[in-house]
Structure 1
Amino acid sequence: MVDVKLLGLWYSPASHKVEWALKLKGVKYEFIGENLQNKSPLLLESNPVHKKIPVLIHSGKPICESSVIVEYIDETFEGPSILPKDPYDRALARFWAKFLNDKVGAAVNAFLHKGEEQEKGKEEVFEMLKILDNELKDKQFFVGDKFGYADIAANFVGYWLGVFQEASGVELVTSENFPNFCAWRDEYVNCSQVKEYLPPRNDFLAFIQAYASKT
């Protein structure tokens, strides 16, 4: 009997972060796809505060918020460590994960909206990418020499951002503007620890194009 369930969406980077952690740990789980226009009673009951995905349900107990869930998975299940063991490296990983999570909204506004909202988002994304371009010079991973917590959090900028750019036609992330970031991104999406966990690009691109046209 499966006692781990994940309420999520196949195209959600937050859902994928949790799935990633479960797969890295070798945890068997049941994925339950949600409809955000018609949220299930299970989702509303499991996350009554925010009513959002993802939600991990382990032995009947719900855990919410993707970063919290990933840490819970790391502490609860056997397998490779996701957070670094060294306290300083662990703090760095949490710092970059929070930085990346905080910037997702601006990126969505930059690529899927119009007018003032888009321009403001583009400015914020440009500043974010300048910081990342400086940080990722000659680096494969965010912290140390091992794929981990911050790299899982980077799935949006490493993969989703490029699909959003192609779907919207907004040319913002280029190797001329951000050579270090783009070199890191290209290695990231082809890394064996990454590509097997990403949604199919063609399916995802078609979905985002359809969503962008409605937006």
Structure 2
Amino acid sequence: MVFNEVCSLGCNMHIAIIGATGLVGSHLLKKLLANSRVEKVTTITRKSIDHDSKKLSQIVLEKMDTQTIENLEIDADVFFCGLGTTIKTAGSREAFSFVDHDLVVSFAVLAKKCQVKSLFIVSAMGANKKSKIFYNQVKGRMEEDIRALALESTYFLHPSLLIGDRAEKRLGESIGVSLYNLLSGVVPVGVRSMLGTKVSDIVNFVESEIFNLKSGEQNVSKFES
């Protein structure tokens, strides 16, 4: 019996999330905990999450490094990675690359070891290791290294500017969100998807795909609303 046939029979699923306190990860966590077809959600975080759902199992790591992540044992059907930062927040290019490349690839290595059915990764529009933009270079290298692992099914999600409620306010992103809100109702859909990507669109897409998984690599570059 193939995996999507199992899902169609309504079996409960176990999903592991790293980056569950971030913008996309936190919204996805709430969505999955409310889904009757999800039996368990395991989160990997630096700090505990304030949620009392019986479905939630938390792995809190005082030190989040590549070796610690790869040494974990998680029996899950699907892995989701919402890790991501900025050079400004991280403090340097090296620190940024550690989060957006090294930790993400380590999570994929863990997925390979645990033989998960599918891995979802929030990457970025324009991810390309040959890009002149350092941010996109790192995302491109991350994708290439994960492709080399040849997992059963990998989804690279390519949003543009994330539109959603952030705990951390960033000036550049605030301006981008304002521009999106101003123009999203009057520009064509293709242009709107380049201006910004609603977090709710990503979360709804991932939730839907979890129960209709496809083998091989899936590159998802647009989330149109």
TM (normalized to structure 1)? 0.32
Q: Which has the higher strand share?
A: 2
TM-score normalised per structure 2: 0.31
More helix by share: 1
